[in-house]
Amino acid sequence: MMKPKYILLGLALAGLTACVDLNEKLVGTVTTQYYANGAGLDAAVMGDYAQQRGFWGLEQSYVLTELGTDLETLGDQTTFTWFGTYAGGLAASDGHFQNTWNPFYQAINTSNAVINRAPAVTDMDPVTKATRIAEAKFLRALDYFMIVQFFGPAPLSTTESQGAVTTAHRSPVDSLYLQIVKDLRDAIAVLPATQNNLGRATKGAAQALLARVLLTRAYHPYPYEAASASFYLASSSFLREAGATSATDFAGAKAEADSVIAGPYSLLTNFVDNFCVPMGARGPGSYCNLPANENNAELIWSVQYSAVAGQYTVGLGNTNFVQMLSYYDDRPGMTRDCNNGRAFRRVRPTLYARNLWQRWTDSTHTIVLDTRYDGTFQSVWYSNAANTGACFRSGGVMTGYSTTNCSFLPTFGGNCTNGQNFVLGDTAMFQPGYIVGGAASCTGPGGACSQTYRQSVKYAVVEPALTEPGANPTVIGQYDWFRFPTMKKWQDDQRPDFNNTDGGRDVPVLRLGDVYLIAAEATCAAAYGTAACTGAQGTILPYITTLRTRAANCLNRFPGCTAAVQTANQAMINDATHLPATITLEFILDEWGREKYGEYWRWLDLARTGLWHRVPDNNWQASPAHGGFFTEAKHHLRPIPQSQIDNTQGGIGAFPQNPGY
Amino acid sequence: MKHWILVLAALSVGANARAQNTGRLTGTVTAAEDGRALNGAVVSIVGTNRTAFTNASGVYLVEQVPAGARLVRVRFLGYAPLQQTVTVGADRTDTLNFQMVSAPVQLEGIVATAYGEQERREVTGAITSLNLGELRDVPLPNPAQLIQARVAGVDVVSTGYRPGAPMNVMIRGVRSITAGNQPLYVVDGVPLVGGGIEDFNPAQIASIEVLKDASATAPYGARGANGVILITTNRGAAGASGGTSSFTYDYQYGAQSALHFVDLMNGPELAQERIDAYRLAGRTVSYASIFNPPELNQAYCALNVKTNPTTGLYDTTAAGTSTWQAVHPGCQTGTDWQRSIYRIGSQQQHRVSYNSIAGNARLSLSGTYFNQSGITVGQGFKQYSGTISFENTYGRLRIGATATGSRSVADIGGDSQLWGEATANSSLGLPYDSAGTPYATLCSVCTLKINPSGDALRTNPLREEQGFIHQQISDRLFGSLFAEVTLPFGFAYRANLGPDLQNVSDGMFQGANVVLGSTPIGNSQAGLATREAFRYTLDNMLTWSYTTGEHKVDATGLYTITQTRFQDDSASSKTLPYDYQLWYNLGTGSAPQPPISQYNQTATRSFMGRVNYTYKNRYSLTVTGREDGASVLAAGHKFAFFPSAGLSWQIGDEQFMKQFTFLSGLKLRASLGTTGNSSINPYQTEGSLNQTFYNFGSSTANGYVPGQIPNPTLVWEKTAQLDLGADFGLLRNRISGTVDIYREKTSDLLLTRALPPSSGFASTLQNIGKTGNAGWEFSLTTVNLTGAGGGPRWTTDFSFTHNQNYIISLAGTTGDDLGDRWFIGQPVNIGLSGQSGYDPLHQVFYDYKFIGIWQLADSALARQYGEKPGDPRVADLNGDGKIDGFDREIVGNSYPRLIASIYNRVTWGAFDLSFLLQGRIGYTFIDGFRENTDLFDRYNNLNVQYWTPERCDGGPDPTKYDPPPGETAAQQAAIPGCNVWWAPSAGRQNPPYDDLPSNSLGSASPAYRVGTHWRVRNITLGWTLPQKFVNRVRGVHSARVYVEAQDPWVFTSYYGYDPENGGSSGPPSYRTVLVGMTLGF
């Protein structure tokens, strides 16, 4: 037998000499040392882009920019309804503000890290390095621009946070703008006109953003800023670069916009192609000639999204495709699918918005004037579910039907045998946005004409309510809280399943269409404050008519639209009836609405122009006259998130809240 | 097993070869009070390493006792130790019997301590020993339940009620905010670094000591701050017949049922509430718009409305001649989803154990099979575990090893999410589709619906039970090996090696159309995560014992290292081609997800020295110092020193105390010391970047952004603790007890400090702040009946725990941290509701003060606050005319004021009865159930009263509900039920679902509940069969049968499932009633 004492001796020696290393060796973790070389710096810039997804494409982006404006109000499934009504819940504790504030400041810190650390990076070619710095400045400018528009005075830092920073203070609005303009001018000087990677900032992107920034700054100071300058401004008057004034800002905005218009971008032939990804048709004007059209000639810069695993954080895809959709999946012949989307029913157009586009309101014309309505809203649903309902059942139990088709109702579909279940692909629902049969001949729900027409076409016809506010929005017409024009710009059928919210659609932040309107508005508002545009009407018009002419394009898109019809349409949309002789800022804001409905800018358009009266005038849920709580004195800014105040050393004393909150 | 015995025998022979002139000593050990045989008493020959245990008949046998006069000592927990001199003759068997007198465990006997054992009289620290002789009679599934409600100062709470759910154990409150508060478990001398005490079967545990104060825990230094639980597993014991081996078989079987269900709205109640809600929101026009199509006919039925006789559908215009109810009797109650996923559960356990002594060698083998089905359909827990323990002595050398292996298979299923689905599903929805009729009871071919109520976010719990499979398989291999050699001059050296391998394989499968939580997926997906942890501890210990005259010194020196290596990896895939593969063929999925893997390694290195000094067997002093180094801390700050000192005085033995004849023993203790907490994650000091995901067009553009701020100054969290205690016995120990008061201060708190987000970081981990604990513990044992003369013996244990936890200071000078709910003077809040890291048991509630519902009469005032009648109303505390963050106040906290327990045990002849009652008194909890499902019209609701405007009277009237703008009286009259269903709202307290809630401020405010509950933990009745019956069966030596009820009742005013773990929304807590038997062979 082995001698136990040797076993013991061995154990003792092993034990006493055993030693462990207490220094940590990093295996799966990366530290900021990585930023010291070129690959790391490149990764930081890519991270900087990725952080834009913290706002654009998430819930906070549409909630803060679209809901509760003159154009958009609540659907039946909105959970944060105070954004539509401006009720007490629109307060510092609402998470949407924190979810906006935090990502932008995280991105700013990343930009700062890139800009601060780049000089020490030696293994990168100088041109690439300069471009990356310029990209970081572009992003930092965008971040600060969004922050200052939503929140007013805000912390300003151009250096990376090293260690725990526990203090913060609100820098004046004008000093934020000075930094934004400076960053953009720096970026414009360096950025190339095109980049090898789609989605990287280009010179045009920086110019388009600068145009918008200057246009916005030109309106400053607002009366509320002038009234308490010490809170908002660095000095008693709004501070700009030496020699700059409100007028030069307007002129600068126009100059930058003109430069972009002259640049490598061009308007697409059809408005709808901007929002076209490979997907099924959704009604007149939806047919997509340009598959996979996210990166097109009109696009200047977008926040990139992807449906490819590993290119997005699970749970944080672009979720906004679901928000503005109307209820369809309970209709006969329909079930929820990817193509038609997961209808969250959170945002619906106001009556004002529905009437914004100039269209025929009766059946005597083949197409509508402004195709941007059909480029924005879906009008046809094709049956996607067998055995879920019989045709001819719209509007309740049918007792008979006529075979006479009305020429103005689309004649798609029709494999369904009368009274039997829909056949897949049949037209199941038609929601044209106007009263079928014409206002004159239609006496409302149950009226003889309308009922006959509906019966004739096998599918359900959903017609608009003609008035609002109303006791129940459903009383007239068939629109209500859950059935309304369904906003299809962000529809996304590339998701793995219909309930998945990790959308892969890019968020176009800047496109050429905007730049025309920026130019028009800058020309118009050159002397801000007058009712009508002060710029020469003749110099404003070309920007507007260019967009409107494009909006009248219908060739091969709408039934019956020939080249001749299109030409007539283009003339008509700009004639004296449809385009007023005197362009006003109000008209330009309408045009913004027609062009950019749902594109995450509307609240900022109102804030910029100060035309806040449009909210209570046009959005009855927000209007105090109808139980809403909108107050311009308070709601021209968003509240500072409570966590920023709570976590700042000194609390509310060191970091004051915006007035009224 | 045979093989092992042979090896042992061989080893024994080797040892025997050197023995000369030895004899055998045998005898019985019985209790003096009632003559009962004591099973498991330790008999040792002083000055040698000869020891033996008594068997179930109280018989012991010590072999190879050197001949001559020998001092024999016998010890048994709960009895005063005895010693007696006997002359042992060579080559013969001598007999020596002992009658032991019971003594309180806190006053007499041997107690396990950190790195050793000690005479209870000399202990200076606060250590509670559990009398496991009694505990063994009460079979429990989780080791933590052994100490639940039995030890003052320890709070053991379920983390949930699924089978196999771990327990949350806290000793003397919490100290740390972020570094964890679970105690350190030490199994057979090896610290269980990774926790997971539930991997050990309670039946394999021989004794438990709970170390509470600094004097007791300081030897564990940096890991001792949260208290230490020492667990000793079974070693061999002598055979039942006094022979060399024994064999025991234990079997139990039980049934389980839910303690409580929640009162949710049934069909008519939900239908009515929905109508009221829609009406209030100004949108009701027809049933068809209020109810989803699948609910519609159920709603007609529930409300007993008229239907069109031709179509069978509700029709306002038709002259209804029949009702849905008449056609479908019994349809009106709706579906009870809770009971649809509920079943009577079962539990069974088989255990075999074999114990053997051969010479100096002891061997113990045991194996356990445990199987619990649980009360939720689809859940279950199985555990297979085995322990082998061996010990032998070769001259001066003693070698031993214990190895425990276990495999636990937990079928978790949807768990609380499944119950959430069951409670949220509309009672108007039906579980099955069928041809022609919507009623499950009437259908012949039933298929499970996906969305029973037509709501796309609420899926069928019955379908999810089948489609959501979550199985966790945990394997654990834990060993403790030691070698100990006796050296000259009272020295001894011991080496200890404790390897610990843990492997968890966690598989999850979600079938198509399974929507649990809020992550609907629409197609099948599966994932498999594997976590492997390997840890080892290596101790080298030199001890010295020296006694001269009245002086006794024991000194210990220790050098110890630990190392942990952890890795985890997971893979998942979506859109699997076929379901039955579960997670076993992920490669076939058409949408594989990026794999994730993780690795970390930590190490510690420590030196410890301890001296115990006792003078006159009355005055004891313990001084301990430990130097700990850990890799997780910053360079230059890795080492820290943890000193402690303890004093005890057997004042009851002093001459001047003899006059107090009622006093049978009194010991005073005082201790002061520092311990630490190093439970932070590795690499926190380094700072890190977070990976981001992005793409440029179709090319991947993943980058790195600043993630964690580097913190090069992280140091140990240190807890200084002062403990004053007294152990006493009165009236010849008929009454005995322990009182401790203590005060703790934890400094250099590792704190996730919230930062202003404008810095780009939301938080960082820092050493900032201090917390304190102050409390007292009182435990009392009374012997109500002694059992003398063969009568009943009845003992009662009382224990009371009070702990006050408070924050002393926080980051810098800023005072309270509102973002994290940390307030000076208030207890520690750990995690925020709805976020990761949320700990429902350690919450401080800071919220708006709920003062009811805005009434119509207050419309104008409500409007000033941006609110309207029907909205919940919270107090404007600062009176500034708006409700904002400054109107919050501290509502309460979840820390109980007092924890009390009463344990009764009666033995009489062959019968034993025990009864354990526990109370947690004076805590606040957030009614998670109320918070989550309160009156939301799409889902089912608690069956509560709710606010409604008075009625729809059609005209503007300031005292009445103002209808939506423009609504005419005629339009109102056309609304179904107007002026029919609406009742005056007087006295109603809860708001109905409101389509346009004005805010979410204080949405949790109405959900705070004051909790106090009493719980019957268990009742056990056992009968030890008389020998004359037992002996009729060949080979059987002893038999006991028992009936036990675990958690049979909870007394509470809370209407939810259970208040204990913070009012969670399921699964419900349950009672177990089981029967069992133990056979000895």
Q: pLDDT tens for residues B531-565? A: 999 999 999 999 999 988 889 999 999 999 989 99
Alpha helices in B1-50, H assignment, sequence order: 2-16
If residue A60 lies in a helix (H) or strand (E), which one and from where to where? helix A59-65
Alpha helices in B333-490, H assignment, sequence order: 337-340, 415-424, 461-467
Residues A81-119: tens digit of each pLDDT: 899 989 888 988 888 999 999 999 999 999 999 999 999
CB contact under 8 A, A27 and B599: yes
Q: Which structure tokens are listed for B816?
A: 């309270």
Supply the pLDDT for residue B754: 81
Closest CA to B393 of B883, B11, B960: B11
Distance CA A459, CA B816 (A): 63
Closest CA to A193 of A136, A268, A265, A114: A265
**Higher pLDDT, residue B364 or A461:** B364
| C-beta of residue B388 within 8 angstroms of C-beta of residue B365 | yes
| C-beta of residue B704 within 8 angstroms of C-beta of residue A34 | yes
In total, chain A counts a number of residues equal to 661
Query: Per mean pLDDT, which of A223-232, A525-534, B234-243 is the most reliable?
Result: A223-232
User: What's the burial of B470, exposed, middle or buried (CB within 10 Å: 0-12/13-18/19+)?
Assistant: buried
- What DSSP string runs through A522-539? HHHTTSTT-SB--S-HHH
For the ranges A168-182, B372-386, B388-402, B492-506, which has the lowest average pLDDT? B388-402
Angle between helices A246-261 and A512-524 (to 10 degrees): 150
Residues B640-679: tens digit of each pLDDT: 899 999 999 999 888 898 888 888 889 999 999 998 876 6
The DSSP bridge partners found for residue B66 are B22
| Cβ contacts of A17 on chain B, cutoff 8 Å | none
CB contact under 8 A, B563 and A29: no
B768–chain A Cβ distance below 8 A for any pair: no
Averaged pLDDT, B135-141: 68
pLDDT band at B440 (very low <50, low <70, confident <90, very high): very low
Residues B1012-1034: tens digit of each pLDDT: 899 998 899 999 888 888 888 87
CA–chain centroid gap for A356, Å, is 18
Interface ipTM: 0.90
Q: Are strands B911-926 and B1008-1024 parallel, antiparallel or unpaired?
A: antiparallel
For the ranges A173-182, B218-227, B916-925, which has the lowest average pLDDT? B218-227
CB contact under 8 A, A168 and B692: no
Residues B143-187: tens digit of each pLDDT: 888 888 788 888 888 878 888 888 888 888 877 776 678 888 998
**Higher pLDDT, residue B53 or B978:** B53
For the ranges A290-294, A564-568, B333-337, which has the lowest average pLDDT? A290-294
Q: Which structure tokens are listed for B587?
A: 């490669």
pLDDT band at A432 (very low <50, low <70, confident <90, very high): confident
Omega before B1067 cis (within 30°)? yes
User: What's the burial of A304, exposed, middle or buried (CB within 10 Å: 0-12/13-18/19+)?
Assistant: buried
pLDDT above 70 covers a percentage of chain A that reads: 82
Query: CB-based contacts of B658: which residues, under 8 Å, 6+ apart?
Result: none
Averaged pLDDT, B299-314: 60
- 3-state SS assignment for residue B27: strand
If residue B914 lies in a helix (H) or strand (E), which one and from where to where? strand B911-926
- Side-chain-side CA neighbours of B985 within 13 Å: the count stands at 24
Averaged pLDDT, B870-885: 83
Supply the pLDDT for residue A284: 53
Averaged pLDDT, B80-97: 87
CB contact under 8 A, B758 and A496: no
Residue A242 pLDDT more than 70?
yes
pTM here is 0.81
Residue B1075 pLDDT more than 90?
yes
| C-beta of residue A295 within 8 angstroms of C-beta of residue A391 | no
Sign, Cα dihedral of A74, A80, A83, A86: positive
pLDDT band at A44 (very low <50, low <70, confident <90, very high): very high
Residues A482-504: tens digit of each pLDDT: 788 888 888 887 776 777 788 88
**Higher pLDDT, residue B392 or A588:** A588
> Torsion angle of alpha carbons B185, B186, B187, B193, nearest 10°?
70
| C-beta of residue B187 within 8 angstroms of C-beta of residue B482 | no
The DSSP bridge partners found for residue A584 are A532
Q: Which structure tokens are listed for A603?
A: 């609240």
Alpha helices in B664-806, H assignment, sequence order: none
Residue A61 pLDDT more than 80?
yes
CB contact under 8 A, A87 and B631: no
B393–chain A Cβ distance below 8 A for any pair: no
- 3-state SS assignment for residue A624: helix
Cβ neighbours around B1033 below 10 Å, total: 12
For the ranges A52-61, A248-257, B996-1005, which has the lowest average pLDDT? B996-1005
Closest CA to B1007 of B836, B859, B833: B833
Q: Would you tell me which residues 500-539 of chain B have a C-beta closer than 8 angstroms to some C-beta of chain A?
A: 515, 519-523, 538-539
Residue B1054 pLDDT more than 80?
yes
Residue A612 pLDDT more than 90?
yes
Q: Which of B494, B759, B814 to mutate to test the interface with A (most CBs of A within 10 A)?
A: B759
Supply the pLDDT for residue B533: 92
Residue A129 pLDDT more than 80?
yes
**Which position has the token pair 């081609």?**
B577
Residues B515-526: tens digit of each pLDDT: 665 455 567 889
Query: Per mean pLDDT, which of A143-147, A461-465, A631-635, B967-971 is the most reliable?
Result: A143-147
The DSSP bridge partners found for residue B65 are B23
CA–chain centroid gap for B644, Å, is 30
- 3-state SS assignment for residue B669: strand
Distance CA B268, CA B332 (A): 7
Residue type, B387: T
Q: Looking at the partner chain, which of B483, B522, B696 has a beta carbon nearest the beta carbon of A198?
A: B696
**Which position has the token pair 């859109």?**
B575
Averaged pLDDT, B581-607: 87
Residues B968-1010: tens digit of each pLDDT: 555 555 544 444 333 334 445 566 655 556 666 666 777 788 8
**Higher pLDDT, residue A8 or B368:** B368
Omega before A221 cis (within 30°)? yes
Distance CA A328, CA B423 (A): 27
Query: CB-based contacts of A538: which residues, under 8 Å, 6+ apart?
Result: none
Q: Looking at the partner chain, which of B14, B485, B756 has a beta carbon nearest the beta carbon of A1?
A: B14
Omega before B577 cis (within 30°)? no
CA–chain centroid gap for A617, Å, is 23
CB contact under 8 A, B604 and A20: yes
If residue A616 lies in a helix (H) or strand (E), which one and from where to where? helix A614-618
**Higher pLDDT, residue B636 or A458:** B636
Residues B249-284: tens digit of each pLDDT: 989 999 999 988 888 888 888 887 887 777 666 554
* DSSP class of A35: G
Averaged pLDDT, B302-312: 58
Residues B443-491: tens digit of each pLDDT: 555 677 777 887 777 888 888 888 889 999 999 999 989 998 888 888 9
| Strand ranges for A55-172 from DSSP E | 72-74
Cα angle A566, A569, A571; round to 5:
115
Q: Looking at the partner chain, which of A25, A30, A166 has a beta carbon nearest the beta carbon of B704?
A: A30
| Cβ contacts of A629 on chain B, cutoff 8 Å | 863, 866, 998
Distance CA B453, CA B294 (A): 5
Distance CA A101, CA B758 (A): 8
Closest CA to A64 of A158, A314, A72: A72
Q: From B965, which residue of chain A is nearest by alpha-carbon distance?
A: A471
If residue B280 lies in a helix (H) or strand (E), which one and from where to where? helix B267-280
| C-beta of residue A257 within 8 angstroms of C-beta of residue A211 | yes
| C-beta of residue B643 within 8 angstroms of C-beta of residue B676 | no
- 3-state SS assignment for residue B866: coil
Residue B876 pLDDT more than 60?
yes
CB contact under 8 A, B704 and A44: yes
Distance CA B143, CA B151 (A): 14
Region of A266 (left: φ > 0; alpha: ψ -120 to 50; beta: rest) is beta
Residue A397 pLDDT more than 80?
no
CB contact under 8 A, A113 and B483: no
CA-to-CA separations, B405 to A499, A584, B383, B385, B479, in angstroms, rounded: 44, 82, 10, 6, 9
| Cβ-defined contacts of B814-821 (< 8 Å, 24+) | B814/A166, B814/A649, B814/A650, B814/A651, B817/A646, B817/A647, B817/B753, B817/B754, B818/A646, B818/A651, B818/B846, B818/B885, B818/B888, B819/A643, B819/A646, B819/A647, B819/B754, B820/B752, B820/B754, B821/B845, B821/B846
For the ranges A280-284, A437-441, B343-347, B601-605, which has the lowest average pLDDT? A437-441
**Higher pLDDT, residue A636 or A442:** A636
Supply the pLDDT for residue A404: 29
Averaged pLDDT, A327-352: 83
